[in-house]
Amino acid sequence: MPIDDDKTVLHFLMGPGGEVTIAVTETPEGQLHFNLSPTDTEAESHADIDGLFFNVSEGSTLDELNFFPDVGAEGYHLSEVKAVDDGVNGFDDDLQAGGDFDVGLKFDPSDDSSKDGVSQTNFTLWSDAGPLSFEDIDLAGMRLVVDSDDSGGDVLEVSDIVDPDMADPDAADTSDGATALMDALSLASMPSEEDEEPDLCEDDAFDMA
């Protein structure tokens, strides 16, 4: 099932309450820009964003994955990246993904003295193998770990997709169209009958910038 070629931004609500929104933008340069932020910016408190995990879609041509910013770059929150084929399940005892993924990103406050955590952050993903599109990442299968310092962490799954063209951009799109889009993103990560041979991809198939 193809994804609408005209759609360049998808908004994913994470968790049953949709407390965090991940906006993924497909840029004209063939990059994917991820922006993580509180869904309700007026709330008294926001979730502490600790880690994001996702899979690269089966059948994609991703050989060399790159990230901006660099890990530990001053003024940014990206503190660690792991990219191993089906080999990333977390970063430490308190930051577990609840499964095995291809890619994991850990976020920490840019100021070591900060006690507020990370409520909003962003990063950009691209590949030396060619342009990226929504279909190259299993976006519907993303997992977000929040509040790991306080409660051991909650693992949030994608609960809804928000259509940025809706009259009320803060409302979740629970229509048949949103469900169909979620199904399309899930199907994009499923192997075809021709690809059902064992995955022989080596663990070092990803090159992190």
Global confidence as pTM: 0.76
3-state secondary structure 49-71: EEEEEECECCCCCCCCEEEECCC
Q: What is the full per-residue pLDDT of the chain (209 aa) written as tens digits?
A: 344 455 689 999 999 999 999 999 999 999 999 999 999 998 888 999 999 999 998 756 555 889 999 999 998 999 999 988 889 999 987 799 999 999 999 999 987 655 678 999 999 999 988 899 999 999 999 999 999 876 668 999 999 987 665 544 444 444 444 445 555 554 444 544 444 444 444 344 444 44
- What is the structure's pLDDT at 149? 79
C-alpha to C-alpha distance for 164 and 66, rounded to whole angstroms: 27
**Tokens 């991703």 — which residue?**
62
Question: Where are the domains positioned within the chain?
Answer: 9-190
What's the burial of 196, exposed, middle or buried (CB within 10 Å: 0-12/13-18/19+)? exposed
